[in-house]
Amino acid sequence: MKKRVVPMPQTRRRVRPAPPKRERNHSLHGVRHLALDMDGTIYSGGTLFAETLPFLDLLKRLGVGHTFLTNNSSKSARDYLTRLRRLGIAAEPGQLYTSTQAMIEHLRERHPAVRRLFILGTPSMIEEMAGAGFVSTADSAGDEPEAVVVGFDTTLCYARLCRAAWWVERGKPYFATHPDRVCPTDEPTVLVDCGAICAALKEATGRWPDVVLGKPDPCMIRGILCRHNLQPHNLAMVGDRLYTDMAMARRAGAVGVLVLTGETKAQEAQRAVPPPDLVVSGLAELGKQLRNARNRDDGK
Ligand SMILES: [Mg+2]
């Protein structure tokens, strides 16, 4: 049984109000790119859904682009590409968007002078940020960072948690890659995620992060729109969670497509307020609807 992820309070609220229901785009008309959630959407745990590869082939034939998207900042984009390749999906680096990449773009755009970071993250995350030109400061009061970044640190050690609290308490700009308190798992454990690490820092210092990226913040969709020069109505966010995937689509003004192959059951989808733009049983049904929409667009 997968655990439900409860988003932690967010300190940044630049939420675009949802249009009135009657004006929302309920069709796939105009969609040229899909942002694909991974767990629960293209695979479950380590098992790829049977419909995923035929669906990706169909997207290619239809000329619809796609980007795989994840909140999980414990693995680098390169790690994810390797994981996808093992599952039989040959993705290019440009087809992946993680909350670490969202953090890199956020820092570059909003804090261009910040280079030196104290990072609570895995070696993979730290390596990815170093590759983007950031300097990871040491666990030392003498190695002063310009900001603190917290990710899903599956290698968390007490001394580094204390050092992060030290800099947070001293008022350094403080950013988190995503709000998830726990990471879903089928294993007999609780995977303490970025949001819970931030909650520990909040207890110690009284501060939540200044900015929390990752779903449901629309920054990841904005990043994909920017990469591909698209308007929000050209992009459909496809995912299995109402409170992250569908909430992010709504906030970004993109089309929200809920698949019922993951966390959300059909009854919950029917009761959802506001409802997703489209609910499908899985990727096979979405493929049919995309093909129909394309045929209508072509006047066939
Ligand atoms: Mg999911």
pLDDT in tens, 164-199: 999 999 999 999 999 999 987 778 999 999 999 999
CATH number of the domain encompassing residue 185: 3.40.50.1000
Q: Are residues 161 and 264 in the same domain?
A: no
How many whole angstroms from 267 Cα to the centroid of ligand 1?
Answer: 18
How many whole angstroms from 74 Cα to the centroid of ligand 1?
Answer: 16
Q: Are residues 127 and 150 in the same domain?
A: yes
Q: What is the pLDDT of residue 154?
A: 97
Q: Are residues 208 and 131 in the same domain?
A: yes
How many whole angstroms from 93 Cα to the centroid of ligand 1?
Answer: 20
Q: At what angle do helices 219-228 and 99-110 cross, to 10 degrees?
A: 80
Q: Are residues 206 and 231 in the same domain?
A: no
How many whole angstroms from 227 Cα to the centroid of ligand 1?
Answer: 22
Q: What is the pLDDT of residue 1?
A: 45
Q: Are residues 143 and 226 in the same domain?
A: no
Structure tokens at 273: 């307020």
Q: What is the pLDDT of residue 8?
A: 56
Q: Are residues 197 and 225 in the same domain?
A: no
Does residue 105 lie in a domain region? yes
Q: What is the mean pLDDT, run by run of 10 residues, along the chain of 300 residues?
A: 50 46 59 95 90 97 96 92 94 94 95 98 97 98 98 98 98 97 85 96 98 95 93 96 95 96 94 96 97 78
Q: What is the pLDDT of residue 3?
A: 47
Structure tokens at 201: 């820092």
How many whole angstroms from 115 Cα to the centroid of ligand 1?
Answer: 32
How many whole angstroms from 25 Cα to the centroid of ligand 1?
Answer: 23
Does residue 159 lie in a domain region? yes
Domain endpoint, select from 212, 229, 259? 212
Query: Which residues lie across from 43 on neighbouring strands?
Result: 39, 48
How many whole angstroms from 137 Cα to the centroid of ligand 1?
Answer: 33
Q: Are residues 238 and 289 in the same domain?
A: yes
Q: Are residues 183 and 124 in the same domain?
A: yes
pLDDT per residue as tens digits for the range 241-264: 999 999 999 999 999 999 999 989
Residue 96 CB contacts under 8 Å (≥ 6 apart), including other chains: 67, 68, 69, 77, 80, 81, 84
Q: Are residues 236 and 205 in the same domain?
A: no
Rounded to whole angstroms, the Cα distance separating 101 from 129 reads 8
Does residue 2 lie in a domain region? no
Q: How many residues does the chain have?
A: 300
Does residue 1 lie in a domain region? no
Q: Are residues 220 and 208 in the same domain?
A: no
Does residue 183 lie in a domain region? yes
Domain range for 113 is 100-212
Does residue 166 lie in a domain region? yes
Neighbours of ion ligand 1 (CB under 5 A): 37, 39-40, 240
Listed residue (131, 137, 177) closest to 160, CA to CA: 137
Q: What is the pLDDT of residue 167?
A: 98
Instruction: Give the single-character DSSP code of 244.
Output: I
Rounded to whole angstroms, the Cα distance separating 117 from 3 reads 32
Q: What is the pLDDT of residue 19?
A: 41
Domain endpoint, select from 212, 240, 263? 212
Pairing outcome for strands 235-239 and 255-259: parallel
Q: Are residues 194 and 224 in the same domain?
A: no
E strands in 17-93:
33-37, 43-44, 47-48, 65-70
Rounded to whole angstroms, the Cα distance separating 176 from 290 reads 35
Domain endpoint, select from 212, 232, 257? 212
Query: Which residues lie across from 147 on neighbouring strands?
Result: 117
Instruction: Give the single-character DSSP code of 23.
Output: G
Rounded to whole angstroms, the Cα distance separating 300 from 294 reads 9
Q: Are residues 206 and 228 in the same domain?
A: no
Listed residue (81, 61, 80, 82) closest to 71, CA to CA: 80
How many whole angstroms from 185 Cα to the centroid of ligand 1?
Answer: 12
Does residue 47 lie in a domain region? yes
> What is the residue type of 52?
T
Q: How many domains does the chain have?
A: 2
How many whole angstroms from 139 Cα to the centroid of ligand 1?
Answer: 34
Does residue 117 lie in a domain region? yes
Pairing outcome for strands 43-44 and 47-48: antiparallel
3-state DSSP assignment of residue 120: strand
Listed residue (13, 101, 8, 42) closest to 259, CA to CA: 42
Listed residue (42, 6, 31, 300) closest to 182, CA to CA: 6
How many whole angstroms from 39 Cα to the centroid of ligand 1?
Answer: 4
Q: What is the pLDDT of residue 46?
A: 81
Note the Cα 1 to chain centre separation in Å: 22
- What pTM was computed for the model? 0.83
Burial class (CB in 10 A: 0-12, 13-18, 19+), 170: exposed
How many whole angstroms from 262 Cα to the centroid of ligand 1?
Answer: 7
How many whole angstroms from 283 Cα to the centroid of ligand 1?
Answer: 13
How many whole angstroms from 298 Cα to the centroid of ligand 1?
Answer: 32
Q: What is the pLDDT of residue 91?
A: 94
Q: What is the pLDDT of residue 15?
A: 46
Q: What is the pLDDT of residue 187?
A: 80
